[in-house]
Amino acid sequence: MKSNNILISRAIRKVVITVAVSLSLTSAAFATEQTLIINVKIWDGTSKSLSKTQDVLIEGDLIKSIGKGLKVAADVEVINGGGRTLMPGLIEGHGHLQMNGTSLADIENNRNWEELAVRSAAKAKIALMSGFTSWRDAGGMGAGLKKSIDTGVVAGPRIYPAGAFIGPTGSHADFRNFTAPNETFNGPQSSGSRHGMTVTADGVDAIKAAARQNFMQGATQLKIMSSGGVASKFDPWQLDAYSAEEIRAAVEVADAYGSYVMSHAYSKKSIMRCLENGVKTIEHGFMFDGDIAKLMVEKGAYMTTNMHAFSPYLGEIEAIKSSPASARKAASAQLAFTDYIKNVNKYQPKLAFNADCVGFGDSCVKQTDHEIYLSAKFFGNHFALKSLTSVAGEMVALSGSTLNPYFKGPLGVIKAGAYADVLLVDGNPLKDITVIGGNEKWFDAPARDGIKTMRVIMKGGVIYKNTL
């Protein structure tokens, strides 16, 4: 067997093969390619400790087997892990690739579709090179970038798009300016709406139409705005924006597609209403408590929360700093959410990672790194790592057997049959969260070019980074 490290040329060859399947290169030929990663300690996405030294055989885009003395092809490519940690690729449970301006107002007024699209492709590559091999996009984009990544046109994570945000007039999904022209009154014609990023839907029929439109555009799940927010203009965060009937309308359409609804919800009333009416994932969920925990278990529901809401740096976010109204809302929200961390530690809900960066480039890198650090600080490294991998992998699979675009195996775990989305890192992330980028600093963190301790990044058996 060959004992040389995998080179970039191999990654390029695999991408070419993937793209060229439609040009009559057989998928069977691609599936026989093997990579053997030897001499690694494995964190499998769930365990509380690393394994003993193991080898991992990858065939095509899946993990074939794990152990010692594995049967391999004669021409297998070998990576010697040198005793490093092999772990699942990270999963963003609530991100916004297309929302890449400095604020909602900036996106609405200063960015056209060309700039937003180019920036989303660049942001996707940055995410991948930070170890995020999968990404649930929580509103603001259809499936165009996802298709481009899947066919090898650009590099980025696997994407589960939610399509346009769905919310009522004046809600967290309403991007219009206060002084918008009269023809947009009571209508969805904001710039964000014209770009397919958001849609104003009041009432059952409008919600159903918007939901069906999102699925037609390639959404894998729906995102509704059932409460108010902080960064938006017209809504207090306490607002219960959608009625039970309206929430059920979105859930009914999602059920018809075999998928699910994710809902932006801050207040306890909004969270409970969503869960009682079929929503499967609560986004933010800052007023989480014992009643909500019990209902989540009963309904098989998940939650994602942006921990930077509890950071002293929160007021420095441009989307908040630039708006006195948002700054005031953020301050009142932080006072109201003081029991959240205590309750999560007590009830241990199924919580997935949520960086929620509305921004671009270095600003989102710093925010995500700080988010990883805070997750580990508040809940411990093991809980934080599961939120970044196995729990998020379960959550994205809620899109169902029909709409899940990555149906060949599970994500977020290291086991036979899972997707070969893996990271090889120096050190033990269960003890040191910085090896995957966690950073106590946020805005004052130095700019970085990748994560030096993240030595190999592989998605679907393709190497995108190898510094061994």
User: What DSSP string runs through 102-160?
Assistant: SSHHHHHHH--HHHHHHHHHHHHHHHHTTTEEEEEE-SSB-SHHHHHHHTTSS---EEE
* Interstrand relation of 198-200 and 165-167 (parallel, antiparallel or unpaired): parallel
Q: In tens digits, what is the pLDDT along the chain, a chain of 468 residues? A: 444 443 434 444 444 334 333 333 333 333 359 999 999 999 999 999 999 999 999 999 999 999 998 999 889 999 999 999 999 999 999 999 998 877 777 777 778 888 989 999 999 999 999 999 999 999 999 999 999 999 999 999 999 999 999 998 766 667 666 655 544 444 446 766 777 888 989 999 999 999 999 999 999 999 999 987 776 666 777 778 899 999 999 999 999 999 999 999 999 999 999 999 999 999 999 999 999 999 999 999 999 999 998 888 877 776 676 677 777 777 777 777 889 999 999 999 999 999 999 888 899 999 999 999 999 999 999 999 999 999 999 999 999 999 999 999 999 999 999 999 999 999 999 999 999 999 999 999 999 999 999 999 999 999 999 999
Q: What is the pLDDT of residue 13?
A: 44
Pick the CATH number of 90-403 from 3.20.20.140, 3.40.50.300, 3.30.1330.20, 2.60.40.1180: 3.20.20.140
Backbone phi and psi for residue 136, each to the nearest 5 degrees, phi listed first:
-90, 110
- Quick one: CATH architecture of 8-89+413-466? Roll (2.30)
Tokens representing residue 438 in the block: 């966690």
CATH 3.20.20.140 domain position(s) in the chain: 90-403
Positive or negative CA dihedral for 218, 222, 225, 230? negative
pLDDT in tens, 163-197: 999 998 766 667 666 655 544 444 446 766 777 88
Alpha carbons within 13 A on the beta-carbon side of 412: 23
Distance CA 401, CA 235 (A): 36
Instruction: For 13, list phi and psi in degrees, rounded to 5.
Output: -60, -40
Among positive and negative, which fits the CA dihedral 139, 387, 79, 32?
A: negative
| Euclidean distance between CA atoms 335 and 309, whole angstroms | 11
DSSP code for 286: T
- The confidence score (pLDDT) of residue 17 equals 36
Q: Counting beta carbons within 10 angstroms of the beta carbon of residue 219, is it exposed (0 to 12), middle (13 to 18) or buried (19 or more)?
A: buried
Class of residue 142 by CB neighbours under 10 A (exposed 0-12, middle 13-18, buried 19+): buried
* Parts of the chain belonging to CATH 2.30.40.10: 8-89+413-466
273 Cβ neighbours under 8 A, 6+ residues apart: 226, 240, 242, 244, 247
* Nearest one of 52, 18, 58 to 37, comparing CA atoms: 58
**143 vs 137: CA distance, rounded Å:** 10
pTM, two decimal places:
0.89
